[in-house]
Structure 1
Amino acid sequence: MIKTISNEYLKVNINTRGAEINRVTGANGIEYIWSGDKKYWGRHAPILFPIVGRLKDNHYTYDSKTFEMGQHGFARDMEFEVINQNNDSIELQLVSNDQTKSMYPFNFKLIVRYELIDHKLSTNINVYNTDDKEMYFSVGAHPAFNLPLLKDGSEKYEDYSVKFDNKGVYDQIQFDVPYANLESIEKIELDQPIQLSPELFYDDAKVIEIKNREFTTTLSSDVSNHGVTMTGYNTEYGGIWSAKDAPFVCLEPWWGIADDIHTDGKIEHKVGINNISPNKKFVAKFDLSFF
């Protein structure tokens, strides 16, 4: 079911399936979020939980038991309950059940809150441990943005770049697709924007380690004054991705990452894994500002 929040600047459609942003329309008429054309990629902005990326051979072990789970976890394909909604905000909830327990042996509550503040859409992903044992998880977001944003022929994909407020040298994670290879980390300098081209993503996503800091990236065009800025808070990893030759790009804040090629398969040893004690919560927060 599609739910809508809005203010004088933005209108946002959110699907209760996956608590996924399906559409963001500006008062300027621009459609910011990717249309979900299955020719390239049939999603818009999925929530990733309780893993980010892919498990090696699609399974892991916990307490001597083996569990299977697909890429990016199950939350993006499950129906959320709307627990609160106003004109400019909404909260959606997923609670562990028999279906989730067959893939993930923890009791949890996942609440996604979206709130519009002027030109900004603020997202809080709240992970609650409702179990009586330590809970292991990863969480992230995968918003995709139309490129070019203007459909009048005045822009093209290659006019866009991704700029970084947090300049400096970072570790760039290399992949033996679809797994991370932590023995093959390269340095990347982010003092200059990354100019976009389809070829940039032929070898999969570009992922850097941010190490639990606030991190801001801006996707914008050289020939117009429109784009989107994403700020992640206490972010562990950041990704930029697109499908092959697709007219969109994703800016992805992650609190987790795909399995390392040398994983032992135990979820408590998984690279980028988070853990919270019983009756505690973890908050993953990011903002999208549209212009």
Structure 2
Amino acid sequence: MDITITNGMLTATINPKGAELNSLKDNSENEYMWEGDPAFWGKHSPVLFPIVGELRNNSYLFEGKTYAMTRHGFARDTIFAVKSQDESNAVFSLSASDDTKRLYPFDFELELAYTLHEKTLRIDYTVTNNGSGDMPFSLGAHPAFAMPGNFKDYSLVFENDEQPVSTQLENNLLSDKTITLPVENRVLPLTYDLFKNDALILKSHTSNSIEIAKNGTPFLKVAFPDFPHLGIWTMENAPFLCIEPWKGYADTHDASGNLIEKEAITILPAGQSFKAGFSIIILR
């Protein structure tokens, strides 16, 4: 059963499968999340753990053993426990099990807390290493925002005046090719042509937030100061856009396959926790 939280200004609905945000509405019933039409893409806002993106050969090595892992990891397809809930907050938890250890041999807990405050939905992640050795992982968000009407009416507004560089994907892995995004005065006009080679992958950026604007007027902001990497993605003719705060990204074509050596991997010591979060802010 979906979990709903509200504060009178916003209402959020989260599915315990994947602890996935399915809906975010204001008090005028305006829906900000993509509806998940499978004709385009049947998800809303999957949680990416313990990898982000795709692994070379859909597998990795750890301590001499090969493990299979599909794109973005298993958390998005796994049922989370509801750890706590009140009117405007809900906390979900996923812990290691025999099933997860066949894919990822670590004693972890992944906790997601959804909290509403005024016109902001805050999403906080806590990754805990309950094992006795170092735990490598990546973590990411993949929220898809509804963008009905003419896609060219929309633009992105970066917090800082920067010229973001996107690393191009080839067969779902990072290549050595890059493009500089056509940002002028902090604004990136949106066209489907931008995504002809799949997602835009920013290995680095100086902005801690991006606004989505329609006809020049911003209506939603994603703030992600805890996440050093960013994905931006849509599909041809799809009425949505994903703004994806990441810590980690897909393998490169020449990746060794050793999870400890993976580019941009986070190594969490035994008994330690990693915390990060991002916010979705409604501007109208």
> What TM-score do you get using the length of structure 1 for normalisation?
0.93
For residue 219 of structure 1, what is the amino acid of its counterpart?
A: I
Task: Give the stretch that moved more between structures: 133-142 or 192-201.
Answer: 192-201
In the alignment, which residue of structure 1 is the partner of 2:36? Answer: 36
In the alignment, which residue of structure 2 is the partner of 1:215? Answer: 208
Task: Give the stretch that moved more between structures: 160-169 or 37-46.
Answer: 160-169
Counterpart-to-counterpart distance in 1, 2:276 and 2:174: 22
Counterpart-to-counterpart distance in 2, 1:270 and 1:244: 31
- Alignment gaps of 5+ in structure 2: none
Say if 2:170 is the partner of 1:196. no
Q: Any idea what SS the aligned residue of 2:201 has?
A: strand
Deviation at 1:234, TM superposition (A): 2.6
Q: Any idea what SS the aligned residue of 1:125 has?
A: strand
In the alignment, which residue of structure 1 is the partner of 2:145? Answer: 145
Task: Give the stretch that moved more between structures: 184-193 or 49-58.
Answer: 184-193
Identify the match of residue 287 of structure 1 among 256, 279, 284.
279
Deviation at 1:162, TM superposition (A): 0.6
Q: Any idea what SS the aligned residue of 2:126 has?
A: strand
For residue 201 of structure 1, what is the amino acid of its counterpart?
A: F
In the alignment, which residue of structure 2 is the partner of 1:243? Answer: 235
In the alignment, which residue of structure 2 is the partner of 1:274? Answer: 266
Counterparts in 2 of 1:33 and 1:119: CA distance versus 1, 3 Å: same
Q: Is the 8 A contact 1:136 1:274 kept in 2?
A: yes
Cα deviation per residue 1:25-44 (whole Å; 9 max; x = unaligned)?
Answer: 11122111000000000000
Q: Is the 8 A contact 1:201 1:242 kept in 2?
A: yes
Identify the match of residue 257 of structure 1 among 245, 249, 256.
249
Deviation at 1:233, TM superposition (A): 1.8
Deviation at 1:271, TM superposition (A): 1.2
In the alignment, which residue of structure 2 is the partner of 1:75? Answer: 75
For residue 177 of structure 2, what is the amino acid of its counterpart?
A: S
How many residue pairs get aligned? The number is 282
For residue 150 of structure 2, what is the amino acid of its counterpart?
A: K
For residue 256 of structure 2, what is the amino acid of its counterpart?
A: D
Deviation at 1:284, TM superposition (A): 2.2
Task: Give the stretch that moved more between structures: 261-270 or 23-32.
Answer: 23-32
Counterpart-to-counterpart distance in 1, 2:214 and 2:268: 41
User: Which aligned pairs between 1:116-131 and structure 2 lie closer than 5 A?
Assistant: 116-131=116-131
Q: Is the 8 A contact 1:214 1:234 kept in 2?
A: no
For residue 262 of structure 1, what is the amino acid of its counterpart?
A: D
Q: Any idea what SS the aligned residue of 2:224 has?
A: strand
Counterpart-to-counterpart distance in 2, 1:205 and 1:4: 31
Identify the match of residue 222 of structure 2 among 199, 224, 230.
230
Q: Any idea what SS the aligned residue of 2:113 has?
A: strand
Cα deviation per residue 1:233-283 (whole Å; 9 max; x = unaligned)?
Answer: 232211110122211000110001000110010001111110110111111
Counterpart-to-counterpart distance in 1, 2:218 and 2:227: 25
Q: Any idea what SS the aligned residue of 2:208 has?
A: strand
Deviation at 1:226, TM superposition (A): 5.9
Q: Is the 8 A contact 1:163 1:218 kept in 2?
A: yes
Q: Is the 8 A contact 1:139 1:284 kept in 2?
A: no
Task: Give the stretch that moved more between structures: 167-176 or 47-56.
Answer: 167-176
User: Which aligned pairs between 1:40-59 and structure 2 lie closer than 5 A?
Assistant: 40-59=40-59
Q: Is the 8 A contact 2:162 2:186 kept in 1?
A: no
Cα deviation per residue 1:205-234 (whole Å; 9 max; x = unaligned)?
Answer: 1111236x66100011016x5621001023
Counterpart-to-counterpart distance in 1, 2:236 and 2:105: 35
> What TM-score do you get using the length of structure 2 for normalisation?
0.95
Cα deviation per residue 1:174-208 (whole Å; 9 max; x = unaligned)?
Answer: 22130012x33444464431111222212101111
Counterpart-to-counterpart distance in 2, 1:58 and 1:28: 44
In the alignment, which residue of structure 2 is the partner of 1:85? Answer: 85
Cα deviation per residue 1:41-88 (whole Å; 9 max; x = unaligned)?
Answer: 000000100000001110000000000011000000000001111100
Q: Is the 8 A contact 2:159 2:207 kept in 1?
A: no
- Tell me how large the CA RMSD over aligned residues is: 1.5
For residue 106 of structure 1, what is the amino acid of its counterpart?
A: F
Q: Any idea what SS the aligned residue of 1:259 has?
A: coil
For residue 259 of structure 1, what is the amino acid of its counterpart?
A: D
- Taking only the aligned residue pairs, the percentage that are identical comes to 34
Moved beyond 2 Å, runs of 4+: 169-172, 183-192
For residue 59 of structure 1, what is the amino acid of its counterpart?
A: S
